[in-house]
Each structure stands twice: as structure tokens, then as C-alpha cells.
Amino acid sequence: MTDVSHKNGTRQDRFGPYAIQKVGRRIMNEDTWEQVCNELKKTIGTNNFVTWIEPLRLSGLRDGIARFEVPTSFMGDWVARNYAEQIRQHIARTGAAVDRVEFHLPAARPAPGAGAAPARRPGARRTSAPLRAGDEADLPGAPLDARFTFDSFVVGKPNELAHAAARRVAEGGPVTFNPLFLYGGVGLGKTHLMHAIAHELQARSPELRVLYLSAEQFMYRFVQALREKQIMDFKGLFRSVDVLMVDDVQFIAGKESTQEEFFHTFNALVDQNKQIVISADRAPGEIKDLEDRIKSRLQCGLVVDLHPTDYELRLGILQQKADHYRQQYGGLSVAEGVLEFLAHRITTNVRVLEGALTRLFAFASLVGREITLDLAQDCLADILRASDRKVTVEEIQRRVSEHYNIRLSDMIGPKRLRAIARPRQIAMYLAKQMTTRSLPEIGRRFGGRDHTTIMHGIRKIEELRSTDSQLAEDLELLRRLLEA
């Protein structure tokens, strides 16, 4: 896996194993590098470029080795693994002599904590922090879920980078990127990773003040402090932590004074070189009603997204949880193919996947049966139905035109004949029922009709449904065809 940690607390300033051998011809200078950058941006995309390539400083090319300065060892390691060969190829394409690409930390920087125990971050001036008596117990954080550890986190392609970055933060040591910003859809493991960081930091350095809470709790604390005129205590407390983790930060969007306070807390901690970890359901730039200065601060560190799960990751998670449950339920067995079936069918998110497995084991142990495909289909019918492939408006239009023997173009076109208008209204009705499209969106897919026309069509079918049994039957049939 992509464990970029540096074993035993030692740190190399080169990233040797990934250096690449080849022979080239000419010499490279700053201009050539700029040219290479332009090419790289095209191949790896602007986002990746800004995150990984832009911070590199060409420090020289001699004896066929292109050397780059990287701001952090984490970055060096990641770039070496993922981009070294592309960088080398692009340099070689300019005709420069390059056998190898190497990355190193800035020379002035002392090799931190070589051979020593995990280094405490230099900014973590715990002893001088303004603590009141009893503060240790007062950290207003949320409780950590004991199950959310790195051990129980299954790593796959979609969450590889997020996991590696979280691991890096959990090692402690000098702050390498601030903040770490994790984002992704619900149930993809953001909270899990944040708790894992907190667990790991506490295990390594119990004296560290690690504060984890949701943005909602942050706001609640803040409002409470305002009300009770204890804002100075509030500020003092939040500024005294070594690591601050705020989950679901999108929550403070549109909440002005909470944002203001969050911004100050954030800046104060960054100034003290304290690590901050933030999560959200989308990228900083995409959070509406979040002040620009906050967005840009959030983008200053490392922004990493958790991608939707893929089949392998889902299967891996299911296997891990099933092992766990097998022990818990005393050897209850799972028939072959069941986990694969679930990984294939339940694609929404990990939380739903877990819920399905939990229910399956509980049910099987109650009725004392082996977990078979049949049992799974019975017991999880509702979840399986809900996770079914989403129907599109286009599919609905196609099915309905086939059923009523009209042309698809007529379905979308302007004809008002009953024989065409009625099926069209049925398709509108089904589109509203079976998709999450809004009326204007449905209207656009019906040849740019107004949303009031769509609404009228839907009403018409609703009316007819209760009086016309043939139509009611047709609707049922079409729905089943579309769901199949």
C-alpha cells in the first residue's frame, strides 16, 4: 500500500527506490523546466499539477540526475512514486540528458529527528500553553468511536491518498501540510480517518492535546460561550490545543460569526504551527456561502478527496467486517458468492454496506441459518431495491414509447394528439416518480417544455390513475420493467 511513513522515525532526504534510470543527451535549464511544466499540466490536470508539481524547485541537473527540492518528505515520497517517471519523460523529450529524477528536502533544514523517537512538533509548546487547572478534562471535543482505527480502515484505490495523508498526520512530528483537508460524499470514511488520526496520536503521545469535534459542535460551543460571556475562555481553549480536527466544516457555511471565529482560531493555530485537520462533503472552493478568505486558507494545505468506492474496495470492506462478525457470532458461515453479490449490488456508500452486513448476521444468527444468497436477498430486499441502478428520464421515455408504440421523437416533439400526448404525460409522471429530477429538469428533457406543463401532465395522470384501471395497470407494468 501507499504507506509513506518513515520507519522508526528516521527520515531520508532522498527518495531513492523510485528514482529512475535512463540515458539522455542535453542539459536542462529553468526555461526547459517551464516548458516541461506546461506539458505536465496537460497530462496530469491542473489540480494535480498545482498540488504536486508546482511546489517543486528545480535545484539542478548534473550527471544525468535532475534534482528537485520538495517542501516536505511526504510530498517528495508521493511525487517520487506517482510522477517521477512522467517528469523524467517530459524532461527527456526536451532533449536534456536525464537518467534519473530525485527529490530532496531544502538543504538548510536539519534532518529532523533522525533515529530518534517520533519527534514532537517544534511548535507544540505544551508546557507554555495557557492552561487552567482541570483543562485536560475540559477539552470540548466529541467522543471518539473506538472502532474507527487505521487497523479497521480498508485501503483501496479510491481512498489511497486520503489514507496516506491521514497516516502522515497521525505520525506527529513537524507539521508538513496545514490543514489536511479531506473531502468526499457521505459514508466514504472521512470521520473514520479523523478518529483514526486522533487514536493514533493519543497512543503515540498521550500528552498531546488533540481536539476532535464537528463543525456543528464548534458552532454550538461558540454560541454558548457568547451567551455566557465566556468568549475569552473559549478562545483560550481552542488556541491551546496541539491538534484541531473539525468534521463536516460545510456546516458553518452561511453562519457568519461562527465562520469569523473559526477563521481566527484557524489562523492562531496555524501561526503556532499546530496541525489542523478538516473534513467536508465537497472541495473548499465548492462550499457555497463560505467566505473566500476561509476557502483560500483551507486550500493552503493538502486537499485530498475520497472517491466513491469501487468493487474491490467494497469487497475488501465486506470481507473484513464478515471476519469480525464470524468471530462475534461464533463461526456463523457465509456461503460463497454472498459478499461478492453485496459488493456488486450495494454501491451507494460504506455505511449502507455495513448496515446490510450487520442485519444479515443478526438475522442469520436469530433464525440459526447459514448466510446464503437466498437469505441475503430476502433479508435485504429493501436495501437492494433502494440501491438499484438509477433510472434515467431518457430510459423512461424510451420504454413508454415502445409500450404505446409511438416514436421517441414524438414523445419529445410538439404533437398534441391524444394518442401521443397521453403516453408523454405518463412518461412525465414516471420521470417525477422514479428519478430525482426537478420539474424544470424534466421539462428540458421533454423538448424544453415549461415546468408548469410537466406539472399539468403529472396531475392529469394522477387523476386518471384512480378512475382508469387499464392506465393504472400500465403504470405498474412500466414501473416494473424500468426497475428490472
Residues binding Mg ion (CB under 5 A): 190-191
- Three cell numbers, residue 448: 424544453
- Is 423 a binding residue for ligand ADP by CB under 6 A? The answer is no
- Is 159 a binding residue for ligand ADP by CB under 6 A? The answer is yes
Residue recorded with cell 493555530: 269
159 binds, among ligand ADP, Mg ion, none (CB under 5 to 8 A by kind): ligand ADP
- Taking CB under 6 A as the criterion, the residue among 157, 351, 369, 459 binding ligand ADP is 351
- Taking CB under 6 A as the criterion, the residue among 112, 141, 173, 187 binding ligand ADP is 187
Give Cβ neighbours of residue 183 (< 8 Å, ≥ 6 apart): 190, 279, 280, 281, 282, 283, 284, 303, 304, 305, 306
CB of residue 346 vs ligand ADP: minimum separation in angstroms? 12
Beta strands in 152-291 (DSSP E): 180-183, 210-214, 243-247, 275-280
- Is 153 a binding residue for ligand ADP by CB under 6 A? The answer is yes
Query: Could you write out the DSSP letters of every residue in 259-300?
Result: HHHHHHHHHHHHHTT-EEEEEESS-GGG-TT--HHHHHHHTT
- In total, the chain counts a number of residues equal to 484
Closest residue to Mg ion: CB criterion: 191
Comparing CB distances to ligand ADP, the nearer of 126 and 326 is 326
Comparing CB distances to ligand ADP, the nearer of 120 and 321 is 321
CB of residue 194 vs Mg ion: minimum separation in angstroms? 8
| CA–CA gap between residue 25 and residue 95 (Å, rounded) | 6
Span from 3-11, 202-210, 234-242, 347-355 in contact with ligand ADP (CB under 6 A):
347-355
Beta bridge partners of 302: 180
Comparing CB distances to Mg ion, the nearer of 132 and 282 is 282
57-62 and 65-69 strand pairing: antiparallel
Span from 111-119, 348-356, 428-436, 456-464 in contact with ligand ADP (CB under 6 A):
348-356
| CA–CA gap between residue 226 and residue 406 (Å, rounded) | 66
- Is 339 a binding residue for ligand ADP by CB under 6 A? The answer is no
CB of residue 212 vs ligand ADP: minimum separation in angstroms? 12
- Three cell numbers, residue 97: 540528458
Give the end-to-end CA distance of the chain in Å, rounded to a whole number.
Answer: 39
Q: Return the SS3 of 213.
A: strand
Q: Binding to ligand ADP (CB under 6 A): which residues in 354-413?
A: 354
- Three cell numbers, residue 308: 466513491
- Is 218 a binding residue for ligand ADP by CB under 6 A? The answer is no
CB of residue 77 vs ligand ADP: minimum separation in angstroms? 21
Q: Return the SS3 of 407.
A: coil
Residues that bind ligand ADP (CB under 6 A): 148, 152-154, 159, 184, 186-192, 317, 350-351, 354
